[in-house]
Amino acid sequence: MTSATLMAAILASCSRGGANFDAAAYHQEVMDWREHRRELLMEPTGYLNQIGLYWLESGTYSFGTAATNDVVFDGNGAPNIGVFTVSTDGVSMTVQPGVDVRRDDHPVEEIVIAADTAELPVMITHATLAWTIVEREGRYAVRLRDFELPFVASFGPLPYFEVDPAFRVQATLRRYAEPIIANGQTVIEGLEYHPVSPGIVEFEIDGQLFELEAYTVGERLFYVFGDKTNRDATYGAGRFLYSETPGEDGLTILDFNKSYSPPCAFNDFSTCPVASPRNRLPIRIEAGELFDPDLAYSAAH
């Protein structure tokens, strides 16, 4: 952003935010959030180094980099690493003799791999590769990462709309009589998404009233929303946003300048929820993260 553009944004922010609104401080807050967002993406457990997602039914599966395996790993690894065994209790792994496979840097020969839904999920490493077990709606998959994937080193920068305080709005949570289990879809055909929803948040933009169904994630509220920018500027399946869980007054802040693309915008190996019809806003939310297909990794990248 040029100095002139930044000054224009700050002046516009002052007019929108009221006399006591510190536009420069808010702008820096969003810049800090963006940098933290980039750092999280690029961490070893971030989304950028994912190179495979292999759904498994009950049974046994040989795996490794050789094409003769039931599950063929990309990346740098042994031709025949071991065998996965899948049952209703989860996924176990038996390693081929002489192959160096580790958990927490300790060699393992056989292990039950606690899934990402467990209190203590397990990550397995071998050469530059790492894998975890994903559990979704009673189904299991192996998620593969490459800690030395060149795509990660060359990634970025992330594109964004200009910061606009008009898209930082106060919202009111209208609670359901009791929390409900919401029904949603994901980018994986046949895989549904069923978060707990405490209610609907209502908010105004340019004098118009809108609402989003909120989902409970830990101590915060989570939103999967769509808007008219999904057609030409942002990720088509929608974007993600968090807000603080309100107190007795029901009030929280929706800051669309901190809305961001789901993991599926960067690779083909995630299980992202998509915005439900009720969470698709009939306006353009020109704030937050943009979508750039050149920043997406696939097996053919």
Percentage of residues of the chain with pLDDT beyond 70: 92
Domain containing 55 equals 50-148
Cα angle 89-125-137, degrees, rounded to a multiple of 5:
30
* 126 part of a folded domain: yes
Whether 106 and 83 share a structural domain = yes
SS3 track for 171-191:
EEEEEEEEEEECCEEECCCCC
Structure tokens at 141: 């998959």
State how far the alpha carbon of 218 is from the alpha carbons of 23, 27, 222, 248, 273, in Å: 30, 27, 9, 18, 17
Selection from 38, 5, 51 nearest residue 161 by Cα: 5
- pLDDT band with cut points at 50, 70 and 90 for residue 2: very low
Please report, for the domain that includes residue 135, its CATH number: 2.60.200.20
Res 14: pLDDT: 42
- Between 165-169, 186-190, 284-288, the lowest mean confidence (pLDDT) is in 186-190
Whether 173 and 229 share a structural domain = yes
- pLDDT band with cut points at 50, 70 and 90 for residue 298: low
Res 18: pLDDT: 52
Whether 131 and 62 share a structural domain = yes
Q: Report the C-alpha dihedral over residues 81, 82, 87, 90, rounded to 10 degrees.
A: -50
Of 123, 148, 173, the residue that ends a domain is: 148
- pLDDT, tens only, 98-136: 999 999 999 999 999 999 999 999 999 999 999 999 999
Selection from 231, 216, 268, 257 nearest residue 48 by Cα: 268
- pLDDT, tens only, 4-49: 344 344 444 443 445 578 999 999 999 999 999 999 999 999 999 9
Whether 164 and 291 share a structural domain = yes
* 301 part of a folded domain: no
The answer on pLDDT for 181 being more than 70 is yes
Residues pairing with 297 in the sheet: 267
Domain count, the chain: 2
